[in-house]
Amino acid sequence: MISILELPSGWSNAAQVDWALGRVVGMDALGLTRIEFRLHGGCKLWIDGVLRLMAHCNQMAGRGIHVRLTFLGGSSGVMGYIDRMGFFDHLDPRIETIPVRPAVSGASLFRGGNTGLVEIVPIVAAHRDDDLPNRLTEVLRQACAARADADRLSEAASTLFSELIGNVYDHTQTSGHVALQVYPGGSKVKVVVCDDGLGLMETLRPALNERTSEYRGMTDVELLVEMFRSGLSRHSDPKHGQGLKDCATKAVRFQAELDVRLVSQNVRLTPSRGGYEAATAYCSEGLPLLRGTHIAFTFGLAP
């Protein structure tokens, strides 16, 4: 028997992809052997939704589940858009697609042709690309050149890219992806960095518990907020952890929302009184299990 997930017409972000999958397979997908993702003709995906769909499909295929992606609108709908993003370049080859995936990807043909788009880029420790954060930042700078604060926004983005991508590179057993899209009509830009490692809480909490009992009573959400607010790190060296704090500080300056996907939770942080606080964290629990850490920043483009 095949489980069927429907992504309807209209816009879907990463959280909505999670919720749709959760309604079909539950949290742990026990007994799941076959699943079909049906994307309707009018379906549209924000960039974080594109990467979340890819992560779920790839991880399911890696567990031996037969995955089928059916694009009911054909190649001219959302399939064409995610092809332009490079989705099929990074999709597990075991995954079946209807229609069949393009022989040559749109990302390969048109990469760099849209100044408001950074197609999906792999982050692989064995092939470290130290210039990647600079290239991403330059695309963002050009896209936002008309803004009075474009230089400051570019500086903030540079820190975000360098820290988050560096974290993936520094964990040699981890690979990941990064993408960026500017949405002029929605007056926002989304930056997504994700990896398939152990995840923030799986590395942070055990290390903290070995050093101190101070944080044992904290929920994952409270611990996550503390990480971005005070530079809390799994390392005892105080120099570690400040990168994520700096990311959050710069993001708050531009009133950016921050979404972090944990193993079975999604936490959305909104700026409040100059920082991220527990009172401004919105948590969804019991989501389908997803390995790794998936972080998305959403900046408003309006000055």
**What is the predicted pLDDT for the residue at 238?**
44
| Residue 301 C-beta-side C-alpha neighbours within 13 Å | 19
Q: Which pLDDT belongs to residue 191?
A: 87
Query: Amino acid letter at 183?
Result: Y
- For residue 6, pLDDT over 90 is answered with yes
Q: Which amino acid is it at 254? A: F
Nearest CA to 267 among 250, 282, 251, 288? Answer: 282
Q: Quote the pLDDT of residue 117.
A: 85
pLDDT, tens digit, 9 for 90 and up, residues 169-182? 776 567 889 999 98
| pLDDT over 60 (residue 242) | no
Distance between CA atoms of residues 191 and 297, nearest Å:
5
Exposure string of 75-91, with b = 16+ CB inside 10 Å and e = fewer, is eebbbeebbbbbbbbbb
3-state SS of the chain? CCEEEEECCEEECHHHHHHHHHHHHCCCCCCCCEEEEEECCCEEECHHHHHHHHHHHHHHHHCCCEEEEEECCHHHCHHHHHHHHCHHHCCCCCCEEECCCCCCCHHHHHCCCCCCEEEEEEEEHHHCCCCHHHHHHHHHHHHCCCCCCHHHHHHHHHHHHHHHHHHHHHCCCCEEEEEEEEECCCCEEEEEEEECCCCHHHHHHHHHHHHCCCCCCCCHHHHHHHHHHHCCCCCCCCCCCHHHHHHHHHHHHCCCEEEEECCCCEEEECCECCECCHHHEEEECCCCCCCCEEEEEEEECCC
pLDDT band at 260 (very low <50, low <70, confident <90, very high): confident
Examine the pLDDT at 236 and tell me if it is beyond 80.
Answer: no
pLDDT tens-digit series, residues 7-32: 999 999 999 999 999 999 988 888 89
Assess whether pLDDT exceeds 70 at residue 274. Answer: no
Q: What is the pLDDT of residue 206?
A: 67
Higher-confidence residue of 122 and 252: namely 122
d(CA 186, CA 189): 9
Across the range 244-265, mean pLDDT stands at 73
Using alpha carbons, select from 165, 172, 104 the residue that is nearest to residue 130: 165
Give me the pLDDT at residue 66, please.
97
- The mean pLDDT value of the chain amounts to 82
Joined tokens for residue 113: 């042709």
pLDDT at 102 over 60: yes
- Supply the pLDDT for residue 62: 94
- Contacts of 103 by beta carbon, 8 Å cutoff, 6+ apart: none
pLDDT at 34 over 80: yes
The pLDDT value given to residue 237: 45
| φ, ψ at 86 (rounded to 5°) | 95, 15
Residue 200: predicted pLDDT: 62
Q: What is the pLDDT of residues 37-77, one digit of tens each?
A: 999 999 999 999 999 999 999 999 999 999 999 999 999 89
